[in-house]
């Protein structure tokens, strides 16, 4: 199967770098790059012998994750958390040790598991965390996404869409867009997901199409992400430093590509973006990475993109309610606001340990609460 037209050598270079990572699943990468395994192994062999020159026509999804907590242990941790919703990682670990469970992970690992399964409200966690620079410890734990400020071309305006992996600073997406609509972003994200897999979480600002202000936390785009099993978080309003890595990426993009440049239209922007993205990912030393390049730290996600959205399933003790066109559900003879973006979808309502308080879930994601004590 032939490579799709773009910068052919550029695509080959990206492929061999990703496929050369320890533990990389070469056949899975071939599928994501739409080439046959025979073609993929051919370019890997040429690259190992001749370097980048070997990629010119002359004519790690890991197989396993030995350091990841076994599924059975995660399920046991989550079951204990269900029994004790107020317990954190240290208490849960000590209780498992007391029960005689062997190979209990560290308290920090248990906390990470709780975050990944949406058992800790990110807003509550942020309230107890000092304001400091942070970095996730593996690829695809968090992606940052934003539009860089649009700029003029001869025939209109270009809106650069940027998607950055938090851990590696690898630019998984840089797209020249004619607008900032949901359909535009969703189309580009689908392209990214098919190649790199799904992240665990997105961090975005509060603007459209992924934010609609404080009164509407979710939009059709973020609902689609939740359906894919991707959590969505938003930075504090008027605090762009929350997405500091993506903001820094924007500064670099402006300095190295946009400043003083002239573009005829949006289509003419994309080749420049593609060429610079290769330099940024594979050549440009990054000071925050001890002068390594982002590609040296990035591995594709083990979570493939599902071409068909998975069904929404809820189990007891959840009570299922369908969200009306008004964005509300009826619960205990009262209308409860969930959000118009969820209209037509079922949500699950489950009790908490506090009498009169309920949590609203969309799949495995907590999207609201009900406090019957306040009327």
Predicted confidence (pLDDT) at residue 285 exceeds the cutoff of 50: yes
Predicted confidence at residue 215, as pLDDT, reads 58
> Does the pTM exceed 0.75?
no
pLDDT of the residue at 124 = 56
pLDDT band at 65 (very low <50, low <70, confident <90, very high): low
Mean pLDDT over 238-257 rounds to 80
Q: Is residue 44 part of a domain?
A: yes
Q: Tokens in use for 186?
A: 């969703």
Q: What is the pLDDT of residues 322-347, one digit of tens each?
A: 999 999 999 988 999 999 999 999 99
Helix/strand/coil for 360: strand
Residue 299: pLDDT band (50, 70, 90) is very high
Last residue in a domain, options 98, 127, 156 = 127
Are residue 118 and residue 156 in the same domain, yes or no? no
Q: Is residue 342 situated within a structural domain?
A: yes
Q: Does the residue 138 lie in any domain?
A: no
Residues 339 and 206 in one domain: no
Token couple for 357: 């308080």
- Same domain (yes/no): 121, 150: no
- Is pLDDT above 90 for 63? no
Token code pair at residue 18: 């990703």
Domain that holds residue 189: 143-296
Q: At what angle do helices 71-83 and 89-98 cross, to 10 degrees?
A: 100
Asked whether residue 107 carries a pLDDT value surpassing 90, the answer given is no
Do both 271 and 155 map to the same domain? yes
- Neighbour-count burial for 319-340, b at 16+ CB within 10 Å, e otherwise: eebebeeebbbebeeeebebbb
Is the link from the previous residue into 333 a cis peptide, with omega within 30 of 0? no
C-beta separation of 280 from 248 below 8 A: no
64 in a structural domain: no
In a domain, 164, yes or no: yes
Domain membership flag for residue 349: yes
> Which pLDDT score, from 0 to 100, does residue 132 have?
43
Strand 201-204 and strand 231-234: pairing?
A: parallel
Pick the range with the lowest mean pLDDT from 89-103, 191-205, 246-260: 89-103
Structure tokens at 212: 């609609």
DSSP 266: H
Q: Last residue of some domain: 296, 328, 359?
A: 296
87 and 222 both lie in a single domain = no
Q: List the single range of 54-58, 192-196, 290-294 with lowest mean pLDDT.
A: 54-58
Q: Distances in Å between the alpha carbon of 158 and those of 148, 149, 173?
A: 10, 9, 15
| Domain co-membership, 100 together with 148 | no
Q: Which of 243, 263, 296 is the last residue of a domain?
A: 296
State residue 128's pLDDT score: 47
Q: Which two tokens stand for residue 142?
A: 């968090």
Q: 103: how many CB neighbours lie within 10 A of its CB?
A: 8
What are the tokens at 361? 């879930």
1 assigned to some structural domain = no
Using the predicted structure, report yes or no on whether residue 130 has a pLDDT greater than 50.
no
Average pLDDT of the residues in 42-49 = 91
User: Which range in 51-55, 66-70, 79-83, 295-299 is most confidently predicted, on average pLDDT?
Assistant: 295-299
Looking at residues 85-102, what average pLDDT do you find?
81
User: For residue 5, what pLDDT is reported?
Assistant: 42
CATH number at residue 194: 3.30.420.10
210 and 80 in one domain?
Answer: no
Q: Are residues 211 and 84 in the same domain?
A: no
Cα first-last separation, the chain: 63
- Count the domains in the chain: 4
Q: Token match 């990389």: residue?
A: 24
Q: Are residues 115 and 50 in the same domain?
A: no
Cβ atoms of residues 159 and 147 within 8 Å: yes
Do 148 and 271 lie in one domain? The reply is yes
Mean confidence (pLDDT) of the chain: 86
pLDDT in tens, 191-244: 999 999 999 999 998 888 998 765 567 999 999 999 999 999 887 665 555 677
Q: Report which secondary-structure segment, H or E, holds 335.
A: strand 334-337
Structure tokens at 255: 């300095």
Considering the domain architecture, whether residues 36 and 167 belong to the same structural domain is answered as no
* CA–CA separation, 219 and 223 (whole Å): 6
pLDDT, position 353: 86
CATH no. for residue 102? 1.10.10
Please choose, from the candidates 216, 167, 173, 175, the residue with its C-alpha nearest in 3D space to the C-alpha of residue 195: 173
Residues 168 and 254 in one domain: yes
Residue 332 domain flag: yes
Question: How is residue 343 written in tokens?
Answer: 């209209």
* Element holding 367 (H helix, E strand): strand 365-371
């Amino acid at each position: 199967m032939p490579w799709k037209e773009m910068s052919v050598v550029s695509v080959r270079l990206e492929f061999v770098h990703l496929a050369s990572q320890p533990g990389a699943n070469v056949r899975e990468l071939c599928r994501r790059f739409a080439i046959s395994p025979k073609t993929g192994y051919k370019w890997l062999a040429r690259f190992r012998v001749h370097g980048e020159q070997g990629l010119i026509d002359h004519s790690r999804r890991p197989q396993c994750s030995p350091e990841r907590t076994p599924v059975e242990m995660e399920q046991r941790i989550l079951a204990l958390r269900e029994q004790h919703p107020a317990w954190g990682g240290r208490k849960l670990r000590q209780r498992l040790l007391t029960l005689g469970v062997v190979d209990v992970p560290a308290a920090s690992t248990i906390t990470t598991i709780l975050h990944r399964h949406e058992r800790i409200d990110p807003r509550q966690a942020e309230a107890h965390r000092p304001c400091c620079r942070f970095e996730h410890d593996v690829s695809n734990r968090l992606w940052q996404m934003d539009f860089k400020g649009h700029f003029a071309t001869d025939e209109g305006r270009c809106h650069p869409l940027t998607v950055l992996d938090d851990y590696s600073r690898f630019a998984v997406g840089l797209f020249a867009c004619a607008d900032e609509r949901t359909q535009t972003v969703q189309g580009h994200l689908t392209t990214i997901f098919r190649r790199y897999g799904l992240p665990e979480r997105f961090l975005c600002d509060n603007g459209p199409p992924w934010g609609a202000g404080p009164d509407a936390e979710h939009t059709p785009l973020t609902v689609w992400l939740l359906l894919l099993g991707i959590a969505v978080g938003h930075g504090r309003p008027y605090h762009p430093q929350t997405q500091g890595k993506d903001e820094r990426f924007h500064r670099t993009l402006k300095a190295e590509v946009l400043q003083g440049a002239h573009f005829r239209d949006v289509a003419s922007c994309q080749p420049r973006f593609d060429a610079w993205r290769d330099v940024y990912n594979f050549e440009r030393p990054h000071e925050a990475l001890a002068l390594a390049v982002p590609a040296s730290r990035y591995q594709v996600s083990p979570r493939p993109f599902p071409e068909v959205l998975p069904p929404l399933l809820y189990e007891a003790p959840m009570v299922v309610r369908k969200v009306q066109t008004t964005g509300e559900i009826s619960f205990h003879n009262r209308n409860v606001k969930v959000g118009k973006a969820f209209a037509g979808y079922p949500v699950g309502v489950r009790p908490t340990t506090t009498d009169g308080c309920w949590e609203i879930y969309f799949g495995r994601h907590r999207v609201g609460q009900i406090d019957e004590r306040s009327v």
